[in-house]
Structure 1
């Protein structure tokens, strides 16, 4: 696999994590470097670790991963997105997304949900007999860059949305979950 192909693969894998980063950022009034690092590092680490796990577990778990990855991602993202929408609708006008809290637990669930596809990619990388450490390093770096860019863009435009930011963010998460589910169920992706 060439570097160009690997970067394109990494960009594709990072899109869900970037969208979730946007969603999170829309609910944080003042983004700090701490928020950027928390999100970008967590997503980058999981986007890198999951292919490694998939790579080494390729022979044992390939069928299980492919059968359930879309269900897990769908359920987690719909629950998180639905919760964000509900909290935004029921919040007072002055609170906007104040009920949103960027916790380690939330980021962990989001990172797992958005990186399950990367687990399956690891299985594919095993079949291609690539240098897995090099590959996951590129995937992690690209994910970090994409998430950071997404957060900065969301921060720039998110304040314009006010209370609707949480609704938009929640809809993004639900949309990602539905996309993953439909893609796997109907298009073999």
Structure 2
């Protein structure tokens, strides 16, 4: 898979973590630098790990679904992107989150990286390598988490929902592109 596509996928996947980091930037008042770095490491680490885990799972299944791999990738990305757009447009605000608690960090890490698991599966069924894309996905997630935390502190979280909408749209675009390339090129 080419670098621009991997970067677009990474940005799309990072939107959940970025949105959570924006919320953290809005609500955390003490230990801001520590919390921002912790969130970045947790989100980047989980995005990387889940992408690799998805790739391994997909590699085990690739022989069974190789003849429909582009459709699998398309529907996975369509589902993930659509879910992100729906949640971003719904825009419900919940209770404040205690970002410093380990169980909360673990839960947020898993919740924001489920999409990366599906993308890793897509990489496997498309026969793409995983280590470099997974590292890029993790680094982009960590960097955008830091930016989101800063953005939340400065702008008060007014635009957090739109981060998910943009991320979902990017994943939809990638899914359509994969399907188009396999059907027409």
- TM-score, with structure 1 as normaliser: 0.64
- 2:145 matched residue in structure 1: 147
Does residue 4 (structure 1) correspond to residue 37 (structure 2)? The answer is: no
Contact 2:25-2:151 at 8 Å conserved across structures: no
Alignment gaps of 5+ in structure 1: 85-96, 159-164, 181-189
Q: Deviation at 1:112?
A: 0.8
Q: Deviation at 1:155?
A: 1.1
Contact 1:25-1:31 at 8 Å conserved across structures: no
Contact 2:54-2:118 at 8 Å conserved across structures: yes
Does residue 20 (structure 1) correspond to residue 17 (structure 2)? The answer is: no
CA distance in 1, matches of 2:106, 2:139: 18
- 1:136 matched residue in structure 2: 134
What is the DSSP-based 3-state SS (H/G/I as helix, E as strand, rest coil) of the residue aligned with 1:57? Answer: helix
> Relative to 1, partners in 2 of residues 1:30 and 1:156: Cα closer, same or farther, differing over 3 Å?
farther
Q: Deviation at 1:156?
A: 1.4
CA distance in 2, matches of 1:60, 1:128: 11
Q: Deviation at 1:130?
A: 2.1
CA distance in 2, matches of 1:27, 1:38: 15
Does residue 122 (structure 1) correspond to residue 120 (structure 2)? The answer is: yes
Q: CA RMSD in A?
A: 3.5
Does residue 42 (structure 1) correspond to residue 39 (structure 2)? The answer is: no
Q: Deviation at 1:24?
A: 2.0
CA distance in 2, matches of 1:38, 1:19: 15
Alignment gaps of 5+ in structure 2: 66-71, 169-185
